[in-house]
Amino acid sequence: MKKIITLGILGILLASCSSDSENSEDNFFNLNTGNLRVYKRFISGDGITFSPTTRIDSVFTTGDTIISGLTYEKFYHKVYEADVFVEPHSFTETLRVDANGHLVNVAGFVLHPGYDQNFTAIREYFLQDELYGNINYQSENPMDVMVEGETYNVYPYIGNYIPLDPGQEEQSQFDYYKPGVGLVNQHCSALMGTSCYEARLISYQIN
């Protein structure tokens, strides 16, 4: 659920088989139809102190679809601001677990590598067709994190932005996934400056 957002936000940016290993990867992300995950957005001006906003993103797994012969799961993001449904901000994304056990979007971009702790990737970051730098992605060792009062053992996936301009600061993003639950925290940084936001899991109902 990460993406490159062209307004200057650095975001994060299932053909299933019957083998035990691939079933294990499917269980890691838990893309079952009927799942519901609810996230609340928090913002920060310094990357340290975060304040809650009124934005709530309720993510429903609504079923599968076939694209170019591959089966993807559909995730409907129903977005609210101050308890008011905001249809223009709501959207559906399609994801699958590939043969390597990685969660990917339709473009094939790896959103999280699952249990693959040796995974690394480099992606060029463009803004309005101009190359600004590279984002270096890597898995890190599992760790316990506290997210809105709940402790989760997560697999971190970190993206470090390295700008071409030596006068521009490096930035980072992360996605924390708990096996069987899914995304529990996503951190996105502004391209310049210290502002950032997080989408934190506040409730879920999963099959």
- What confidence tier does 26 reach under pLDDT thresholds 50, 70, 90? low
Q: Is 191 left (phi over 0), alpha (psi -120 to 50) or beta?
A: alpha
d(CA 171, CA 191): 7
Q: Give the pLDDT confidence of 34-81 residue by residue, as tens digits.
A: 999 999 999 999 989 999 999 999 999 999 999 999 999 999 999 999
Residue with tokens 């997560």: 154
Count of CB atoms situated within 10 Å of the CB of 133: 19
Q: Give the pLDDT confidence of 95-124 residue by residue, as tens digits.
A: 999 999 999 999 999 999 999 999 999 999
d(CA 93, CA 106): 9
Sign of CA dihedral 102, 198, 30, 116: positive
Q: What global pTM score does this model have?
A: 0.86
Q: What is the largest CA-CA distance in the chain?
A: 51
d(CA 141, CA 156): 7
Q: What is the mean pLDDT of residues 168-182?
A: 95
Count of CB atoms situated within 10 Å of the CB of 43: 14
